[in-house]
Amino acid sequence: MNTRRELFGSLASSFNATKKQEKLLRPPYFRDESLFHNECSKCDAKCATVCEVEIIKITDDKTPYLDFSKSGCTYCDECAKACEFGVLNLADKKFINADVTIDNSKCLSWNHTMCFSCKDPCLDNAIDFAAMFMPVINNKCTSCGFCINKCPTYAIDIRVL
């Protein structure tokens, strides 16, 4: 019986290893994704140490990604200024390459409970409310992530483009 379990366990792990790697949410100062894999291994993760809101985390392969679980990106430029290998560059500054959406089935407001938790931290005025309920994200959204960790029902999703 153990050999059967080991066989299926090994098959399952090899299947999971061949799954396509999930796209990471990168800081908004890059032009070429391949530079992360070619250059970041040479660095001491300076981008993460200078991040004023501490949202830049480092993967096992030493590449940076954004974690909005506690805060959002202020677009302060410090990570790009600290990057010695040209992966993050001020000349390549853009909005974070992601799409932010509200899951209406999870959202308190969409379910007739007054809640403005997502709108209050939005510095860009990117969330409109239709008829006091029904929040929608408009085209002013910079994907900064400040709304994500404020939602009490985790109704705000961010998807890397």
Residues near 80 by Cβ (< 8 Å), separated by ≥ 6? 27, 29, 47, 88, 89, 90, 92, 93
CATH topology of domain 2-92: Alpha-Beta Plaits (3.30.70)
By the 8 A CB rule, do 6 and 12 touch?
no
Q: Do domains 2-92 and 98-160 have the same CATH topology?
A: yes
Report pLDDT digits (tens) over 92-146.
999 999 999 999 999 999 999 999 999 999 999 999 998 878 999 999 999 999 9
Asked if residue 91 has pLDDT above 50, the reply is yes
Q: What is the CATH number of domain 98-160?
A: 3.30.70.20
Cα→Cα distances 30→25, 91, 154, Å: 11, 9, 28
Domains in the chain: boundaries: 2-92, 98-160
Closest among 156, 67, 158 to 120, alpha carbons compared? 156
